[in-house]
Structure formats: C-alpha cells, structure tokens
Amino acid sequence: MIAGTGRATGEEQAMPPASGKRIPLTRLARIASYTWSGWGSQPPALLASVSNPGSGDGSAARGEVTRFREVFQPGQAIFSPGYPLVPPERERVRQWNFPVGYNTVYTPRSYESIGFDELRALAESHDITRLAIETRKDQIEKLEWMIKSRDDRHPAADASTRIEWLTEFWRMPDGEQPFATWLREALEDVLVLDAPAFEIRRNRGGEIIGLDIVDGSTIKVLIDDTGRRPQPPAPAYEQVIHGRPWRLLSDTELIYLPRNRRPHKAYGFGPVEQIVLTVNIGLRRQVMQLQHFTEGNVPSGLMSAPDGWSTQQISQYQEWFDSVLAGNTGNRTKLFWGPNGAKYQAFKEAPYKDDFDEWLARIVCYAFSLPPTAFTQQVNRATAQTAQEAALEEGLAPLMGWVKRLVDSVIQKRMGHSDLEFAWSNLRPTDPKDQSAILTSYVRDGIFTVNEARDALSLDPVEGGDAPMFLTAQGPIMLRDTIAPKTGIRAGAASE
C-alpha cells in the first residue's frame, strides 16, 4: 500500500501472520466464497497455494476467483457486496433446516408447539369444531365413486376385468368396513391431525390385500441427511406405542399422506391446528356458559322487604312464597298480593349468545370451508343459498382431490394398474330444481338421450328413448336425420 494514495501495489495483501508472510486477499476471497451454479468445495491446489504460497498453481486459482469478479466485486468499485463465504465441505441441498439429531427424539411432533393429543382433545371438546368435522364426513360419504380407465376411448383389453376386481377391493379396503365407513375413519385424522396413515397388508405373493388405518398420532416421521423421506428399504417411519419405539416401517409398508404439508415442517397442518387459539377461546366460552347454570348465584331479581321486618319474618315469608310458587307453573300465572312496602328489582342477565359467539363460529366454519349460517343470524335466502353452495364446492373439492390421490397412488403405483384411476361419479347437483334444469337442457340440445336422463334419475328406460334428438319450435328432430343428409352430400361430392 502506497502511503497517502490508498492504492495497493500489485495484489492487496492481508495483515501478515506471525511468520511474517502476507496472503493475497484474492486468494482469501476464493476460500471464503460460496459455490456458484453448482460449484463444489475449493480445489486442493488452491487450498495448498493459500496455506503455502510457494506451492500449487496460484495463477490458476486466481483465475478461478476472477471468473465471477464482475458479479460480486467488479473492478475497483467500493461498497461492493464482496464474495460470499464458501462452505468448508461440499454438501447436498437440504429441504429444510431440521434440528440436529431429529430422528433420535422419537416422540411424534416433538418439535411442534402443540402435540397430537392436544389436537384430538380440542377437536373432541369444542362443539362447533366437532360438528364441522362430522359435516365434512357426511358430505364426502354420500358421494358415489367408480374405478375407470384413464383413456375411455381406447381402454386395454383386460381393463373391464381389472376394474371389476379393483372395485370389489375398494368396497371394503380393510376387509371389514365398507368404503364409506373406512373413509370416515381416515378423514378423522386428515381433518384433526393431518396425519393419515395406512398399513399395507400383503399376501405371501406380495400382492396388496388390505389397507388398515393406523392412528396417525403414533407415527414418527423420519428424515435422511437432506430432510427428505428415506427411500426403501430404509425405514421412513417409526411407530411409538406407550412412549416406546415399537416398529420401524418403510414406505412399502406404510402410506403416510398429509393433505397440507409445509416446506419447513415434517408434519401436516390441519384445520384444527390452524384455529387452535380460536378453539381454545371457544372452549373457555362454553365452560363459562356452563358455569352460569351450575354455579351462578345471580337470581332473576331481588325483592326488598318492608321497613321494620325482622330476619325471622323475612325467612318465614320466603318459605311461604316458595311453597306457593316453586314448581307450580299454574300459580305463577296468577296475580299475587304482597305486603305493603315490598319492592322487586329485576336483574338484567348477560346474553347467552352474542356477536362474539357468532364470530368464533364464523372462524371455525371458515377453516373447514363451511357456511356459518347455522350459527349466525339469518340473511336473505338468496345470499344464504349462494354462500352455502360456494362453501360446499370450495370445501369438498380439496377433500375429494385428496381421496383421489390416495386411491390413485395405490392403484397405479403400488398395484401396477397405471391405466386405471379412481373417479367420483355422483357430481350432479343435489337440488331437484337444478338437476331438472340441467337434464332438460341436455336432452333438448341432444347431449343426452331421454333414457340417459332417466338413468340419471334412477328411472327405467322407455321404448324409443335411446335415440338422441334436439327440440325445436316445430317439435323434436332426430339427430341422425340431420347428420345423414350432410354425410350423403359429402360422399357424392367425393365420388365426383
């Protein structure tokens, strides 16, 4: 450095170490810079040239440094960002910054602010939350489903046989419960814990013969050194029973499918966890309302005795008054005369339900995409109907998608039927008026035949109802009659 000029001669030199040797800053910057565009850790030649300036190819190392000088430290520009620090070892990218020794703490959700047991207790104790969960189960249960070919126009030759076998399998996925009951049990862990787990049962030949629902609160999710799910044959899950590690399970033995995963967590984020604070407040609100009836000491009113009455006279009058009116609804409707000077002071009770209760109900219903109309003051009918339809569609679609992903993953990836898929078949509107309008429009425009519309209504076919037609002001016209003349004209033109 030339005194008074602020410029360096040649390479800028770092402060000399105890040995008295100076190390160029360009070499230090290369050591303390991150890899760029997939670069790995620093070349041994560069490390050797810095630790021992007399060895290694220093010019090559400096060339590597100056390759991205225009990016980090262009020219002699001051206040530049400088070179980033380089990691001492080349590491694989981690999906998230998990705690050290994550797998050794075997308690499920041990690093979360709230555990599985607390989530279950909240969902089972708060009335509105439990009603919302059961409502979603009811809505999913009434839907019909089917197994079909992914390419309906060109199905495989044996598709119908395999579809029949898969349909029979999914009628009782665990071999004991029908699909609707089995699905309700699975949705409990989806909506409360967002930790649905299924054990895969196989026969001796390795074929899947059942899917048993496992309590998701007993499953500890394991991770590899990058935060990802370990691939088979390595264990990816560990079941914990009574606080004891019970069994290690690989991905081929257990299906673990949270609906709402987050990039910085190993567990899902269900609706109940999203409104933990609201549910907590709601529980305390319910307890307060219960104590109003069980422990409250505020009467409906207070009567003051006439002046000069003794305590004994007041007690005798109270006993007589109770004997006449207590439990006697007939006498309560009569007019009673009281002693001169007695006065009654009515107390104003706190409301049993107010706007705050409605606000809590709205939050819970919003978390489950349900309309709060059952718990709030009624609005006009059109607005309430629109809100109910929107909430039904918004809330059901994600759950229907989750069920489809679950079944498709089993059918296509684990059973090997990649050309088949699960589908919901009963997606028509449930309102009879809307259904009538849609079917009438389909038949009138020739999209449905009469018998197809009758089949949608579970009615028997009629004779002549299999021919598609469309309605005009002059009457019905068969679709084949409008297509045939055009086909004939085109054939004649082609022959000419």
Q: In this predicted model, what pLDDT tens digit does every residue of 332-385 receive, in sequence order?
A: 777 777 777 777 777 676 666 777 888 888 888 888 888 877 777 766 655 556
**How many C-beta atoms lie closer than 10 Å to residue 251's C-beta?**
18
Residue 208 structure tokens: 């899947």
DSSP 21: -
Mean pLDDT value across residues 121-143: 90
Provide CB contacts within 8 A for 254, sequence distance 6+.
Answer: 197, 198, 199, 200, 214, 219, 236, 237
**What's the pLDDT band for 390 if we cut at 50, 70, 90?**
low
Query: Is 70 exceeded by the pLDDT of residue 232?
Result: yes
Q: What is the pLDDT of residue 403?
A: 94
Mean pLDDT value across residues 91-119: 89
Query: Is 60 exceeded by the pLDDT of residue 61?
Result: no
Q: What is the pLDDT of residue 185?
A: 94
Coil, helix or strand at residue 145: strand
Q: What is the pLDDT of residue 29?
A: 42
Q: Considering the chain, what percentage of its residues have pLDDT values greater than 90?
A: 30
Residue with tokens 């489809």: 404
418 or 493: whose pLDDT is higher? Answer: 418
Mean pLDDT value across residues 171-179: 92
303 or 352: whose pLDDT is higher? Answer: 303
Q: What is the pLDDT of residues 281-293, one digit of tens each?
A: 888 888 887 877 7
The closest alpha carbon to 298, from 349, 354, 343, 332, belongs to 349
Q: What is the pLDDT of residue 428?
A: 56
**What's the pLDDT band for 461 if we cut at 50, 70, 90?**
confident
Q: What are phi and psi of 106, to 5 degrees?
A: -90, -5
Query: Is 50 exceeded by the pLDDT of residue 460?
Result: yes
Q: What is the pLDDT of residue 190?
A: 93
Q: What are phi and psi of 219, to 5 degrees?
A: -100, 120
Query: Is 90 exceeded by the pLDDT of residue 33?
Result: no
- Mean pLDDT is lowest, of 90-104, 170-184, 422-436, for 422-436
Report the alpha-carbon angle 280-283-286, nearest 5: 155
Q: Whole-angstrom Cα distance, residue 398 to residue 370?
A: 13
Q: Whole-angstrom Cα distance, residue 476 to residue 446?
A: 10
Q: 221: which strand partners?
A: 237
The closest alpha carbon to 171, from 162, 160, 181, 159, belongs to 181
- Mean pLDDT is lowest, of 160-169, 175-184, 479-488, for 479-488
Q: What is the pLDDT of residue 32?
A: 42
**What's the pLDDT band for 389 if we cut at 50, 70, 90?**
low
Q: What is the dihedral of CA 363, 365, 367, 368, to 10 degrees?
A: 170
Q: What is the pLDDT of residue 427?
A: 58
Mean pLDDT value across residues 92-111: 89
Taking each continuous run of H as one helix and of E as one strand, the counts in the chain are: 17, 12
Cis omega (within 30 of 0) on the bond before 233? yes
Q: What is the pLDDT of residue 180?
A: 93
Query: Is 70 exceeded by the pLDDT of residue 66?
Result: no
Return the amino acid letter for 142.
K
Q: How many residues does the chain have?
A: 496
CB 119 within 8 Å of CB 280: no
Mean pLDDT value across residues 64-82: 73
Q: What is the pLDDT of residue 64?
A: 56
Q: What is the pLDDT of residue 483?
A: 61
- Mean pLDDT is lowest, of 45-49, 189-193, 339-343, 418-422, for 45-49
Taking 3-state DSSP, the helix, strand and coil percentages for the chain, each rounded to the nearest 5, stand at 45, 10, 45
82 or 431: whose pLDDT is higher? Answer: 82
Mean pLDDT of the chain: 78
**What's the pLDDT band for 387 if we cut at 50, 70, 90?**
low
385, 388, 420 from 427: Cα distances, Å: 18, 16, 20
Q: What is the pLDDT of residue 425?
A: 81
Q: What is the pLDDT of residue 75?
A: 72
Q: What is the pLDDT of residue 336?
A: 72
Pairing state between β 254-256 and 197-202:
antiparallel
Q: What are phi and psi of 362, to 5 degrees?
A: -65, -40
Query: Is 90 exceeded by the pLDDT of residue 191?
Result: yes
Report the alpha-carbon angle 236-177-186, nearest 5: 40
Query: Is 60 exceeded by the pLDDT of residue 2?
Result: no
250, 257, 412 from 405: Cα distances, Å: 20, 9, 10
